Amino acid sequence: MPFRAAVLGCLQLVVAGSLASQAAPATTCRSCGNHGVVDCGKHKKAALEQERSVAFCSHAESCKSCEGALRADCKQCSNETAEAELRRRVETVRAWRDGLRKSVDAHSKVEPMLHLQTAHLDLSFGIAKITVGKAKIDTHEGMHLYGDRIEALRKLYIETLEVDEKEFSARLRVYMCRDSRQANDLGPRVTGLGGNFAVGTKLMGIDAVYCMWQEPRGLPDDEALHRNIAHNLVHLLTSNLEPAGYFGNPANGWVDEGLAHWFEDKIGGKCTNYCFEEVLTQQGQTFKAGKWRPAVRAMLDAKELQSLAAIAPKNTDQLTFPEHAQSFAMVDCLIAKHGGDKLKQFLRQLKSKVEMRDAMQAVYGFGPLTFDTEFQAWVAANYSPLDSAR
- Smaller CB separation from Zn ion, 230 or 244: 230
Report which of 146, 281, 283 is spatially closest to residue 225, judged by C-alpha positions.
146
Q: How far is the CB of 337 from Zn ion (least distance, A)?
A: 23
42 lies in the binding site for Zn ion (CB under 5 A) = yes
**Does residue 314 bind Zn ion (CB under 5 A)?**
no
The torsion angles phi and psi of 140, rounded to 5 degrees, stand at -65, -45
65 lies in the binding site for Zn ion (CB under 5 A): yes
C-beta closer to Zn ion: residue 204 or 275: 275
Verify binding: residue 59, Zn ion, rule CB under 5 A.
yes
Residue 57 interacts with Zn ion (CB under 5 A): yes or no: yes
Q: Are strands 37-39 and 121-125 parallel, antiparallel or unpaired?
A: unpaired
Query: Residue 32 interacts with Zn ion (CB under 5 A)?
Result: yes
- CA atoms in the 13 A half-sphere facing the CB of 351: 21
Instruction: Give the one residue of 170, 174, 244, 260 binding Zn ion; rule: CB under 5 A.
Output: 260
Q: Is there binding between residue 283 and Zn ion (CB under 5 A)?
A: no
For residues 33 and 258, what is the distance between their CA atoms, to the nearest angstrom? 55
Which of the stretches 209-217, 256-264, 304-312, 361-369 binds Zn ion when contact is defined by CB under 5 A? 256-264
Under rule CB under 5 A, residue 40 binds Zn ion = yes
Applying CB under 5 A, which part among 60-68, 131-139, 283-291, 325-333 lies near Zn ion? 60-68
Contact call for residue 110 and Zn ion (CB under 5 A): no
Say how many Å lie between the first and final Cα of the chain, rounded.
97
Closest among 66, 79, 68 to 32, alpha carbons compared = 79
Residue 247's region, left for phi above 0, alpha for psi from -120 to 50, else beta, is: beta
State the Cα–Cα distance between residues 1 and 7, nearest whole angstrom.
10
Find the part of the chain contacting Zn ion (CB under 5 A) among 40-48, 92-100, 352-360, 370-378: 40-48
Q: Is 131 in the site for Zn ion (CB under 5 A)?
A: no
Distance CA(323)–CA(363), nearest Å, equals 23
CA distance 122 to 147: 8
Out of 63, 110, 132, 354, the only residue in the binding site for Zn ion (CB under 5 A) is 63
Check residue 93 for interaction with Zn ion (CB under 5 A): no
Torsion of CA 350, 355, 356, 361, to 10 degrees: -100
Q: Say how far apart CA 191 and CA 76 lie, in whole Å.
A: 50
Query: Does residue 117 touch Zn ion according to CB under 5 A?
Result: no
Q: Name the minimum Å distance from CB 268 to Zn ion.
A: 14
Per CB under 5 A, 208 contacts Zn ion: no
- Report the residue from 61, 71, 74, 236 that binds Zn ion according to the rule CB under 5 A: 74
* Site of interaction with Zn ion (CB under 5 A): 29, 31-32, 40, 42, 57, 59-60, 63, 65-66, 74, 76-77, 257, 260, 275
